[in-house]
Structure 1
Amino acid sequence: MRTDIFARLDREPEPPKIEIPRMSRTRLALFGGTSAFYLAIVVAVLASTWLVALDWKVMLFRPYQQWPELHAFLDYFVVLGQRGPTAVMVAAWLGWRSWRQHTLRPLLVLGAALLLLNCTVGAVKLGLGRLGPHYATQIGSAELFAGGDIFPSGHTANAVVTWGILAYLATTPRARRHLSALSAVVSLGVGLTTVYLGTHWLSDVLLGWAAGLLIMLGLPWCEPLIGRTEAWIFAVREQWRARRRLGVPSLPVAAGGPRTSPAGAPGRYARPAPAPAGEPVREPETVSVGGGRLAPSTPSPTGRTSGHTERPRPHGVRSERTPVTPSGSRRPPHSRTVAGG
């Protein structure tokens, strides 16, 4: 009796129908509150309010110098917010789930979330152009529109979205609660780690949390498009499989040789079979119709017969007819002997 994990997975029943999250009133309220918080952070930084002063106080405090023993561990921990490694890990897990559940929805949800993250966060980063703490030039300044790209924090927003996808796609309430707590701890830890390392202002982290949470709250609006995309991919796959089943493999043809078609199918380049040895070759017969001749019909690649019918010529008077020697006569020409030859 097999006791390994693969045997247990083979006996595992198919999961129940997955419930797709809807845009409920609670989710709408959270989305509106998070949007207001997002705008408040942007306005506070643009106006160089108390939030910018707090950024500078934390930066001048230099947490990485206050607790240097944490530096080695947090250098590795912050990788949980980098887009490349985290996307690969989560995509591998969701790919296995897609294979087990016979659906592409987990991977499509991850792709839609990452696309929204890149578009929204990237646009704000490039539009505001804020410099990081290590590149600041004037104390007390917001360092905006200076060619930077750190506001909001991409590490923080990516941690919220990437690990939050696991909770969003959970199939049971218990798993959803546990994964939500895990994603919250990871995203909070990654954001504070960037402040500790001095790579982001505190306001960058606050806006990164809000940006990632907005994407997670707005994902139900993308579910209809995700469903249509999945149905289209499956339809294309079925068409491809049907073509492979109905396709006739072509026979190998030597270079420069004639092409032949499979047996039973009319071929465009098919040649008639040669006559058996010893049997005379018959010339195609012509049929006279109304004074004209009908050339022998030849089959076309489409299965139709094509023939050329000569138009009948009017009968003239015997005196008007001119004897014509037929061309291509089979009789050999009469040999004339020359006298004295």
Structure 2
Amino acid sequence: MRTEPNLTRLDRLFARLDREPERPAGLEVPRMSPHRIVLFGSTLVFYLLIVVAVINTSWLVRLDWQLMFFRPYQQWPEVHAFIDYYVVLGQRGPTAVMVAAWLGWRSWRQHTLRPLLMLGTSLLLLNVTVGAAKLSMGREGPHYATSIGSNEMWLTGDIFPSGHTANAVVTWGILAYLASTARTRRHLSALSAVVSLGVGLSTVYLGTHWLSDVLLGWAAGLLILLALPWFEPLVTRVEAWILAKLDRYLPGLRGRIPAPAPADGPPLFPQPVPGTEDDVPVREPVGAARSGRTPTHFSTQRYTVRSERSPVTPTGSRRPAHGDSATRTARSTPAHPVAGG
């Protein structure tokens, strides 16, 4: 019969929050495979084609203006309140805090700083690449457009590519990148793709971005995720350096407290020698330190544990003596046998 306790949801939650004894050895680190290199090159070509199409005021710019005049927020006003909240999933501040909290717990549980370091690396690449593209091309948004049909480039804007879209791709895609198994990575990749797609279309609905801004934001975020394996060796060296510093200056943070160095002279708390009487714990009365004399009701001989005692077999019956036992026996036995059947 099984005697395991029935764990509640709260018990399973706290068991999940417990730290693993050591860093898992089977964590799969993505590498720059030929398949990933092909995807990276294809995405980079797509990125450049969008930039060229917008600069040359091609059909993509005309589609931008058509969607702007369509004004989706006026066509479907009933979903405007939901879109206002949903688009927050692409804002860098709230999403970075949520994902950093999750990856911080994973770092603590798995005894590794790689999740947090990879998140920091991806956000740094996002700020540098997307920020540089925004400032260099200076495109104005739909609400600030000056000439109908123009590409609105080289002005004072900073919306090309879409930062909301690129941030959604990177922030939620890093969860799929750091997944422990291939199955989890596939599920999280599909989920992050749906979230980032919704965030990009939400900005088009609200009129804060052109459609071409969203397309370039998707490409910019995907380029960062595909390029992360190139930064894995650097992250590994940084992690080793940080952990070495923690072991040197703050050893308690990693759960390893070094043993104190032996001092000169006899130790303050001598260790008992196994197999001797010193190995047996000494039990002293509570009031011994005050009175200075041993109370008479405490025995001075060494206490023996149960395994050291000689077994004692009781003799006779364990039933207590009964006064009328003989009388009850006499009553129960008939004087003459009963004849017949």
Q: Which TM-score applies when normalising by structure 2? A: 0.70
Runs of 4+ in 1 over 3 A off after TM superposition: 7-16, 241-248
Query: Which one is further off, 7-16 or 99-108?
Result: 7-16
- Which runs of no fewer than 5 residues in structure 2 stay unpaired? 266-341
> In structure 2, what is the equivalent of residue 85 of structure 1?
94
1:135-284 matches, within 5 Å, as 135-241=144-250
Structure of greater Rg: 1
1:133 aligns with 2:145: no
1:110-129 matches, within 5 Å, as 110-129=119-138
1:14-53 matches, within 5 Å, as 15-53=24-62
1:59 aligns with 2:64: no
The offset of 1:246, in angstroms, is 11
Q: How many residues align?
A: 250
The offset of 1:238, in angstroms, is 1.6
Q: What SS does the corresponding residue of 1:143 show, helix, strand or coil?
A: coil
CA displacement, residues 242-299 of structure 1 (integer Å, 9 cap, x when unaligned):
7997999xxxxxxxxxxxxxx99xxxxxxxxxxxxxxxxxxxxxxxxxxxxxxxxxxx
The verdict on how the C-alpha distance between 1:8 and 1:90 changes in structure 2, with shifts beyond 3 A counting, is: closer
Q: Distance between the aligned counterparts of 1:99 and 1:12, measured in 2?
A: 9
Q: Distance between the aligned counterparts of 1:173 and 1:10, measured in 2?
A: 24
Q: Distance between the aligned counterparts of 2:169 and 2:137, measured in 1?
A: 22
Q: Distance between the aligned counterparts of 2:16 and 2:106, measured in 1?
A: 16
> In structure 2, what is the equivalent of residue 253 of structure 1?
none
The offset of 1:127, in angstroms, is 0.3
1:6 aligns with 2:10: no
The offset of 1:11, in angstroms, is 8.5
The offset of 1:241, in angstroms, is 3.7
Which structure is higher in RCO with an 8 Å CA cutoff and minimum separation 6? 2
CA displacement, residues 290-337 of structure 1 (integer Å, 9 cap, x when unaligned):
xxxxxxxxxxxxxxxxxxxxxxxxxxxxxxxxxxxxxxxxxxxxxxxx
| Percent identity between the two aligned chains | 74
Q: Distance between the aligned counterparts of 2:108 and 2:138, measured in 1?
A: 42
- Which runs of no fewer than 5 residues in structure 1 stay unpaired? 249-262, 265-341
Q: What SS does the corresponding residue of 1:148 show, helix, strand or coil?
A: coil
The verdict on how the C-alpha distance between 1:191 and 1:228 changes in structure 2, with shifts beyond 3 A counting, is: same
Q: What SS does the corresponding residue of 2:220 show, helix, strand or coil?
A: helix
Structure having the larger proportion of residues in helix = 2
Q: Distance between the aligned counterparts of 1:12 and 1:234, measured in 2?
A: 17
Q: 1:62 is matched by which residue type in structure 2?
A: R
> In structure 1, what is the equivalent of residue 83 of structure 2?
74
Q: 1:153 is matched by which residue type in structure 2?
A: S
The offset of 1:57, in angstroms, is 0.4
Q: What SS does the corresponding residue of 2:136 show, helix, strand or coil?
A: helix
Does the CA contact (< 8 Å) of 2:18 and 2:109 recur in 1?
A: no
Q: 2:110 is matched by which residue type in structure 1?
A: Q
The offset of 1:17, in angstroms, is 2.7
The offset of 1:7, in angstroms, is 3.6
Does the CA contact (< 8 Å) of 2:176 and 2:189 recur in 1?
A: yes
Q: Distance between the aligned counterparts of 1:10 and 1:153, measured in 2?
A: 40
Q: Which TM-score applies when normalising by structure 1? A: 0.70
The offset of 1:9, in angstroms, is 4.3
> In structure 1, what is the equivalent of residue 336 of structure 2?
none
Q: Distance between the aligned counterparts of 1:187 and 1:218, measured in 2?
A: 18
Q: 1:141 is matched by which residue type in structure 2?
A: S
> In structure 2, what is the equivalent of residue 255 of structure 1?
none
The verdict on how the C-alpha distance between 1:242 and 1:27 changes in structure 2, with shifts beyond 3 A counting, is: closer
CA displacement, residues 110-160 of structure 1 (integer Å, 9 cap, x when unaligned):
000000000000000000000000000100011111100000000000000
Q: 2:74 is matched by which residue type in structure 1?
A: Q
> In structure 2, what is the equivalent of residue 281 of structure 1?
none
Q: Distance between the aligned counterparts of 2:186 and 2:165, measured in 1?
A: 21
Q: Distance between the aligned counterparts of 1:10 and 1:91, measured in 2?
A: 19
The offset of 1:12, in angstroms, is 6.3
The verdict on how the C-alpha distance between 1:242 and 1:7 changes in structure 2, with shifts beyond 3 A counting, is: closer
The offset of 1:174, in angstroms, is 1.3
The offset of 1:18, in angstroms, is 1.2
Does the CA contact (< 8 Å) of 2:19 and 2:109 recur in 1?
A: no
TM-align CA RMSD: 2.3
